[in-house]
Every structure is written in C-alpha cells, then in structure tokens.
Amino acid sequence: MRPAELPQRKIDFGGLTDEELMLLVQEGRNQAFDVLVGRYKNRLFTYLCRLLGNQDEAEEFAQEAFVKAYIHADKYRTIARFSTWLYTIATNLVRNRVRNVKRRPAVVSMWSEDSSGEDAGKWMEIRDDSNRPDFEAERRNLNEMVQEAIEKIPGKYRPAFVLREMDDLSYEEIAAVTGLKLGTVRSRINRGRAHFRRTVAPFMEKDHDTKRNRT
Amino acid sequence: MKCTKAQDLYFWSRDDRLDEAGRMELARHLAQCPSCALFVREMDESLDAARSLPHLEVSEGFEWNVKRRILQEKSKLMRGEPGMLAFREKRWMSRFAFGAAAAAAVVAAFALFALQRTGTFEPQVKEIARQTSPSGSASRLPASDDGLAADYSMIGSYTGLRMVSDNIFTAERGAEGVRQSPFQFVAGSREDSLARENELLKRRIGRLERQIMLLNGMLDKERMQRLNMSLP
C-alpha cells in the first residue's frame, strides 16, 4: 500500500524507508522531508567535503542538493534508491561547479606600481594558487594528509573513488550516480586508488619509521 | 600470473567480488612476488586510512538554511521566474492566481468608485459642466472642425459603456451623461482637447500603478503566509 493511501493518522516517519518517505513528500507531507534531511545531511556533507576539500562550500552544495531534491521530488521514482538519487544531484552540482571553475580560472587582481610615471600603475590579474593542494605546507596530521591526498586525485576519478571508498556504494550505485558504465566505474575507482596510494604511501612509510624510532 | 593481473585480482578482492579460487590464486602470487605484496600492503593501509576519516557534521543552522532556501525557491516558482516549474503547487497556484486576480479587480473597482464619490476630479467635472450646454448638444463645437462635430454628434444618443478620462466606465444617460462626458471638454482646438485628455489619462495611469503596487504587496504577504503554512 502506498503511504498516501494509509489512513490519515499519526505516522511514525522515523520507521519508514527513504523511498516511502519520498512518496510522502510527493504527497505534500513535508515532515517526511525533514526526516530525510536529518538522515542524510552529515553523510552528504562528508561526501562533498571529501570531493571539494572545503567545508563551507560543501555545506553550500549539500543545502543546494536538498533543495533540488525537494523541488524536484515529483521526478523521483522508487526504482532508484533515494540515497543514489541524492548523491546524483550532489555530484552533478559539483560537476557543474568544476566546469565553471575550469572556464574561468581563479584570478586575483593586483595593482602593479610603475616607477615611470604618476599614473603608470595598472591592474594585473594573476592566478590565485593559494588553495591548490600541490602547495605543500608542513607535515600535517594523518587526517589532513588523507584529505589532501583525496583532493589530489584527478577530478575525473575522485567522485567514483570517494563514493566507493568512503560511502561504500556498490559499482551499480556509482554507475547510477555518475552516469557511467560499470566497466568505466571500476576503472575510475582503481585509477583513483592508485593516485591516492601514490600520495599517501610515502607519508605512511614515514609515519611507520617515526613510530619504530620511538619504540 | 603477471603482476598487473594480480593487482586487478586484488581490486576485485577489495570490493568483495572475487571468488575463492581467485583469492587463492592471488595469495599464491603475493607469496612469491615482493613488489605486489608491497603494493597490496600500501594500498590496504592507504585505503584503510581513507575509510578511517571521521564523518563530519554540518553546522547547527543547516536544516534551517535548507528550509529557508526551499522557501526562496518556492517563492521564485510562484513568481514564475524562468526555468522554474512547480510540482504539486501548480494546481494550487493557478487557483490562487485566479482568486488573487478576482480580489484585485474587486479592490481596484472599489477604489475607483470611492475616488469618484469623493469628488477628487471635481474641477474637470465643473469645467465640463461650464463648457457644455444643458441640452447636451454639440452646438458649441467649432464649426470648422467638421470631423470632430461628426464624432460628437452621437453623444446624446449613446447609452453604453465608454472609456472616459476620470472613470474607467461611465454609463451615459441622456443629457446628464452628456454633461459629464469628457468628450465634450473641448474649449479650444482638437489638439488642446487631446492634450487635456492625455494629461488625465497619465494621471489615471499613475494612480492605477500605485494601486497595483499596493495590491502586489498584499499578494506577496498572502503568498508568504500560505508558504509558511505549507513549509516542512
């Protein structure tokens, strides 16, 4: 029986599956959407943090994903899992953002003084590389290092890697989220893993050495 | 077995998609190949480190912000901004739009009626009365302006609704109707008359625009109240 056909009595929203809750959202039961936001807010936020490496931006995208999920709730079909659908929305948001950033590289404007005359200065635009992960700071703790290593995985492989390794999605779910074929999903996960290992392994080795020396 | 094959098997194994025979084959290779063994150890450590990253928590105002943004999006939908389509609100919105339009029309009509009753435009009416004859004929029209005289020759007999300067619709009835008709407001040339007509129309447009703004404000308020009620 569809949730909408249930008698209009007090529903225990917490006991319903995501898909049942979405059907209720489609029927206009907004409380059901509250429950879904509660269930997925931290998971989605963590996923986006891993992808973007910026908490403010991740929170912004997570909010945007939930808003889109609500506004387009009528397009949701129960053949797909809600989590897969939500991740798809979020991944597409990030993909679009990456496309925009690629088109317009980050620049900062600087006033360049010229000694030849009073008004000889000019505005110069230089690339803003302050947030690029390849600008190594000092050695940081393991979590920061791992996060940085995730950011170093090329954008092409990162979503598949994060969805598999951190969110534990199956190949099929990742294919649904990313719109890729199963074989492509698998190869992207593995390539992402290889990139990740290349960054993290030397650090882990140093970490082992330090521990060995202490003992 | 080649190392590339072994590494492939390792990834299958990592994803729990390797059968028992494959596992044994991989184990045999790892026992013999130190570089693959190192690869597997490093990969396991790295990926375990990735999995051990703590789950992050959103800020306190997250859910409130989601609601606020949903409200904003719904407002945009209701204003019919491009690229936005409502889902279940569509039917409700169309009903609401009809109701709002009807209410706006009633309010506008009432406002106009009230303005007419308060005699806001008395000077024009007086001027009309002064310049027209009690019989309502067009005898004072300049003789040279034949076309204009012909236009006004029907005034005495017209009894329908007509767009005039002060009131949107005025029912003209006999001599009284003629006396109040702005089309009799022709002291000088045709240009003079049209200029005055234009002036009156401009004033009316300004007044209606103010009324529309007022009504839009009321509509927005109503929308917000309804949305607040329907929000999650």
Residue-wise pLDDT for A3-35, tens only, equals 555 555 577 888 889 999 999 999 888 889 999
Worst-scoring range by mean pLDDT, A198-207, B74-83, B126-135, B189-198?
B126-135
ipTM over 0.85? The verdict is: no
Worst-scoring range by mean pLDDT, A145-149, A211-215, B206-210, B227-231?
A211-215
Q: Are B9 and B22 in contact (CB under 8 A)?
A: yes
Cβ <8 Å between A193 and B42: no
Q: Are B194 and B188 in contact (CB under 8 A)?
A: no
| Helix, strand, coil content of chain B in percent (nearest 5) | 70, 5, 30
Separation in Å, CA A142 to CA A16, A146, B182: 38, 6, 87
Residue B101 lies in a domain: yes
| pLDDT > 90: percent of chain A | 43
How many residues can be counted in chain A?
Answer: 215
Cβ <8 Å between A46 and B55: yes
Co-location of B129 and B163 in the same domain: yes
Contact residues on chain B for A147, CB-CB shorter than 8 A: 53
Residue B148: pLDDT band with limits 50, 70, 90:
very low
Q: Are B142 and B128 in contact (CB under 8 A)?
A: no
| Residues forming beta bridges with residue A127, ordered by sequence position | A107
Nearest-CB residue to B46 (from A28, A50, A196): A196
Between vectors from CA B226 to CA B223 and to CA B232, what angle results, nearest 5°? 125
What phi, psi does A107 have (nearest 5°)?
-130, 155
Instruction: Provide the pLDDT for residue B119.
Output: 55
**Is the model more confident about B178 or about A57?**
A57
Q: Are B15 and A171 in contact (CB under 8 A)?
A: yes
Give the three-state DSSP class for B185. Answer: coil
Q: What is the DSSP letter of A80?
A: S
Q: Which of A11-25, A33-47, B62-76 has the highest mean pLDDT?
A: A33-47
Contact residues on chain A for B87, CB-CB shorter than 8 A: 26, 71-74
The range of the structural domain enclosing residue B153 comes to: 122-188
Co-location of B75 and B133 in the same domain: no
Pick among 1.10.3720.10, 3.30.365.10, 2.40.10.120, 1.10.10.10: CATH of A136-214: 1.10.10.10
Separation in Å, CA B96 to CA A72, B101, B227: 21, 8, 12
Nearest-CB residue to A150 (from B50, B58, B230): B50
Contact residues on chain A for B42, CB-CB shorter than 8 A: 197, 201, 204
> Mean pLDDT for chain A?
79
How many residues can be counted in chain B?
Answer: 232
Average pLDDT over residues B170-198: 56
For B69, which residue in chain A has the nearest alpha carbon? A67
Residue A2: pLDDT band with limits 50, 70, 90:
low
Residue B199 lies in a domain: no
Residue B12 lies in a domain: yes
What pLDDT, in 10s, does the model give residues A185-209?
A: 999 999 999 999 999 888 877 666 6
Predicted confidence (pLDDT) at residue B154 exceeds the cutoff of 50: no
Q: Are A184 and B29 in contact (CB under 8 A)?
A: no
Give the three-state DSSP class for B162. Answer: strand
Predicted confidence (pLDDT) at residue B9 exceeds the cutoff of 80: yes
Predicted confidence (pLDDT) at residue B159 exceeds the cutoff of 60: no
The Cα of B158 is separated from the nearest Cα of chain A by a number of Å equal to 56
| Helix, strand, coil content of chain A in percent (nearest 5) | 65, 5, 30
Architecture of domain A12-103: Orthogonal Bundle (1.10)
Predicted confidence (pLDDT) at residue A166 exceeds the cutoff of 70: yes
- Reported pTM: 0.55
Size of interface A-B (CB pairs under 8 A): 102
CA distance A20 to A16: 6
Predicted confidence (pLDDT) at residue A73 exceeds the cutoff of 50: yes
Chain A interface, mutation test: which of B66, B85, B231, most A Cβ atoms within 10 Å?
B66
